Structure 1
Amino acid sequence: MRYKIKGLVWYSVIGVTINIFYFSNYTLLLLALLGYIWYDFFRKKAIIENIEIEYKLEYEKAFIDEIFEYRIYLKNNSNDGILLLVSPSNLLQRIRPLNQKVYLEPGERKKLIFNISFGTRGIKDIGRISIKYNTSLGFEFWKTKIVEKKVEVLPEFIYSEFNKESLKKLLPAQKSNIRVLEDVTYVENIDEYNNEPLNRINWKISAKYDRLMVKKYAHTSTGQVYMFVDLNLPDGIPKENIFWKNERKVYEEYALKATASIVKYQKEKYQDLNLVILGKEIKKISSNDWVEYFDTIASAYGDNNSDINLEKVLESEIPYLTFEDTVIIISIHLTDEIIPYLIKMRSKVSKVIVLVMPYGFRVETEGKLDVNNQEIFRVEAIELEKKAVLLEENHIIVRLVSPDDSLTEVFSSI
């Protein structure tokens, strides 16, 4: 606990000095008043020392911009009431209200509710709780409590259906729109007869429509998906260039949004997904729970001068790939050095998809931009489009994502 009594000390020094040199009934009254103030000081000090401060967070995991409650509990264990100003940490810039005044009766326990949210992903400190008592009598008190809990802010994701994985391996109970193995336990649709086996005909519906109608079943097949997300500046890019240094930070957030979107959709389909994020460190995860992927994504940060090399990571993973697998790579740029690794990887798997997004992408709810890609993309990115022709010839799908493209539009073009 801290307190401010500089003014009270000065008043006391002046009062004693006056009594020494000009003693009278009035100066004696002044001393009595100062004595009462000092008595009130120690009384309030004892009250605040005995106030219990507790806290509780409605969520310890939340999405960006998600509002949740930060609850503070105060209990007055003394025999006197007190008026306090309660303020959460100034680390919480998105908190309403900023502070609250509360009067605590003797023995009373009160709950205060603050609403907080965060605008960026990551592990967030809550800071401390501060209670303050001040008076016109010349002293103030502060008491603080450090909040030991942290909030994990999960990355934002844009709902978009990614159905571009290669479907080769036959697995029962997995739904897909590729007719490799039909799941006869799940009727997906009814359609008009077109040379299907007779046991497919639904006679009741055929009678209703007065033409032959057949059952259309869902289909199952899939391989594993390997995702490599490079948050760093690749070798070959002028890393001291201000443009690339600034764009990398913007790219990082969009790349992780796209990653979270693909992960969420894939795990809802129970797809096997191996995620590798290259940043200040290499993070790997393979799980049945999409939240665990989001935990990893939330704590991932790239670097402008990282020693972690995408080419080396791809090379280390190639021996574990099979022909049923699909590889997805997200990067801010592709250099000439990575092309041989992409071709080698394509020889091991069914499909390689590369998303290059130096400027991010358009959110679905936002309107189209009036932009010319030739004008906004730098020379390095425009040259990449020429290399993409060579890669497409080797069945490596490369998409240079424009800020005018939505994720859905990008995925549908693959």
Structure 2
Amino acid sequence: MQIENVRLVFLTVIVLFLNFFRINGFTIFLDAFVIIQWVNYSRIVNIFKDIDIDVKLDKDRVFIDEDFNLIISLCGGKVPLHLSVPELGEGKVYLKDVAVLKHSFAKRGKFNIEKFFLKYDAAFFNIIKKVEKKDIQVKVFPNYEEVYFRKEKLLDLVPNVVSKIRLLEDPTSIIGVRKYEKDPIKMINWKISAKLGDIYVKQTEYTSQGRLFLGLFLNLHSQIFSKTAWRPILNKYVEDAILAANSIVKEVSARNIPVKLIADTSEGIKKEFSSDWIDYYEVLSTSYGSLEGFSFEVYNEIEREIIFNDTLLIITMFLSEKDLEKIMRIRERVSRIIILVMPYGFRRYNTKKFKSYLDIPQDIEAIKKNCAILRENDIHVIVYLENMLLQEGIELVN
């Protein structure tokens, strides 16, 4: 507790000095005034010794720029004072019983709200008390975009006499129509066929579901040599890559498709496998990239944990021949591989298309020439330009 009473002491000295020379009605009035101030000062100091606050959050998990309320209640004494919360940039909030502070964060991560300052201002003194709370933490999740991702190659296998990889369809779940291709007659939709002038059949969901294996590379690739030049680009890529991962995870999880995440971050390799998309957001909200942390060991981790039923989705900033060697080896153990290469991130859906002057790195351009061969092996490499939307790249996967 910090007490500043210089003005009160100075006033007291002046009044005593006046009493030394003459005592009259005016000096008696000043004496009474000083005594009242000292009594009030003593009362406030005693209250501040026992005063405390109770702090609650109406929600401790929010998205970027989403408002939350910090509810602060005064305990141990009722005295009007001002409250300051440095972590929120709030100063001189009037607090008598309860104060509600509305706030939002502009970036993702974990934010601790620990320090609170209570200040009582009077004409001749002021008192400041620091109160610390260790259990107030807000987790800010990165945002997501609405995407349509239906690129799983192989669903979980259903026992079947004819073929081990033949899948059963669910006739009660119709998702659209497609052209007739040696299908049973009962699947033909005659009304739509008459309207479109061709034979169309009902397209249904399967009775089983697949699994998406998501590899997220956030560290700057070790084969990029000009690390200083790529530092500002890396920051944008990391935020865009996490936004892409969030968007895809949320869309896939909404269809009850299992997702397994392996992320190469500045803190090492992080893993998550859950049925709740919130768990992935918690991991990604505190994941960052670094200039020196990249390791090819992440490919070995993927190879150890992936199974043939999986569709492997890789989000990366850079792709080299050495990466392709690792990916080709993983391809032997998985049904499909999709690689989203984002050297400069991508364009957000709420921004207009613009002209880009950034060139694709030569190593990636060389790999693009072999995309047709890779596609024949079910390895789809999509290179994002700076002004491409996330959905535009996804739709390029056949």
Quickly name the TM-score band, shorter chain normalised. 0.7 to 0.9
Contact 2:52–2:131 (8 Å) recurs in 1: no
For the residues of structure 1 that align with 2:395 and 2:170, how far apart are their CA atoms?
Answer: 25
Residue identity matched to 1:84: L
Q: 1:370-381 alignment to 2 at 5 Å?
A: 370-371=355-356, 375-377=357-359, 381=361
Equivalent of 1:347 in 332, 336, 339: 332
For the residues of structure 2 that align with 1:385 and 1:204, how far apart are their CA atoms?
Answer: 48
1:217 aligned onto 2:209: no
Q: 1:229-378 alignment to 2 at 5 Å?
A: 229-238=216-225, 241-279=227-265, 280-306=267-293, 308-309=294-295, 311-371=296-356, 375-377=357-359
Residue identity matched to 2:169: E
Residue identity matched to 2:87: L
1:275 shift after superposition: 0.4
Q: CA RMSD in A?
A: 3.2
For the residues of structure 1 that align with 2:245 and 2:191, how far apart are their CA atoms?
Answer: 46
Contact 2:269–2:298 (8 Å) recurs in 1: no
Residue identity matched to 1:36: I
Q: CA 1:397/1:123 → structure 2, altered by over 3 Å: closer, same or farther?
A: same
Q: Name the structure 2 match of 1:2.
A: 2
Q: CA 1:247/1:56 → structure 2, altered by over 3 Å: closer, same or farther?
A: same
Residue identity matched to 2:297: K
Q: Name the structure 2 match of 1:197.
A: 184
CA deviation profile, 1:184-217 (whole Å, cap 9, x unmatched): 232445789887434446899999x9x9996543
Q: Name the structure 1 match of 2:58.
A: 58
Residue identity matched to 2:301: S
1:294 shift after superposition: 0.7
For the residues of structure 2 that align with 1:151 and 1:399, how far apart are their CA atoms?
Answer: 36
Q: Name the structure 2 match of 1:91.
A: 87
Contact 1:171–1:222 (8 Å) recurs in 2: no
For the residues of structure 1 that align with 2:176 and 2:223, how far apart are their CA atoms?
Answer: 51
> In structure 1, the residue corresponding to 2:43 is in which secondary structure?
helix
For the residues of structure 2 that align with 1:278 and 1:347, how far apart are their CA atoms?
Answer: 22
Q: Name the structure 1 match of 2:93.
A: 100
For the residues of structure 1 that align with 2:199 and 2:324, how far apart are their CA atoms?
Answer: 53
> In structure 1, the residue corresponding to 2:352 is in which secondary structure?
coil
Question: TM-score when scaled to structure 1?
Answer: 0.82
For the residues of structure 1 that align with 2:93 and 2:207, how far apart are their CA atoms?
Answer: 58
Q: Name the structure 2 match of 1:388.
A: 368
Equivalent of 1:409 in 373, 392, 398: 392
CA deviation profile, 1:253-302 (whole Å, cap 9, x unmatched): 11111111111111112112110111122110111111111111111122
1:28 shift after superposition: 5.7
1:90 shift after superposition: 2.0
Deviates more, 1:314-323 or 1:112-121: 314-323
Residue identity matched to 2:383: L
Contact 1:131–1:144 (8 Å) recurs in 2: yes
Q: Name the structure 1 match of 2:144.
A: 157
Q: CA 1:45/1:298 → structure 2, altered by over 3 Å: closer, same or farther?
A: same
1:318 shift after superposition: 1.4
For the residues of structure 1 that align with 2:106 and 2:192, how far apart are their CA atoms?
Answer: 53
CA deviation profile, 1:371-391 (whole Å, cap 9, x unmatched): 3xxx3126xx24312223235
Equivalent of 2:126 in 137, 140, 163: 140
For the residues of structure 2 that align with 1:213 and 1:304, how far apart are their CA atoms?
Answer: 53
1:77 shift after superposition: 3.7
> In structure 2, the residue corresponding to 1:133 is in which secondary structure?
strand
Residue identity matched to 1:86: L
For the residues of structure 1 that align with 2:363 and 2:186, how far apart are their CA atoms?
Answer: 56
CA deviation profile, 1:355-398 (whole Å, cap 9, x unmatched): 22132211223221133xxx3126xx243122232354233322
Q: CA 1:113/1:230 → structure 2, altered by over 3 Å: closer, same or farther?
A: same
Contact 1:193–1:201 (8 Å) recurs in 2: yes
Percent identity between the aligned chains? 29
Gaps of 5+ in 1: 105-109, 173-178
Contact 1:167–1:221 (8 Å) recurs in 2: no
1:314 shift after superposition: 0.5
Q: Name the structure 2 match of 1:176.
A: none
Residue identity matched to 1:377: D
Residue identity matched to 1:100: V
CA deviation profile, 1:333-371 (whole Å, cap 9, x unmatched): 123332211221122222222222132211223221133
For the residues of structure 2 that align with 1:90 and 1:205, how far apart are their CA atoms?
Answer: 64
1:165 shift after superposition: 2.3
For the residues of structure 2 that align with 1:273 and 1:410, how far apart are their CA atoms?
Answer: 20
Q: Name the structure 1 match of 2:163.
A: none
Residue identity matched to 1:66: E
Contact 1:205–1:213 (8 Å) recurs in 2: yes
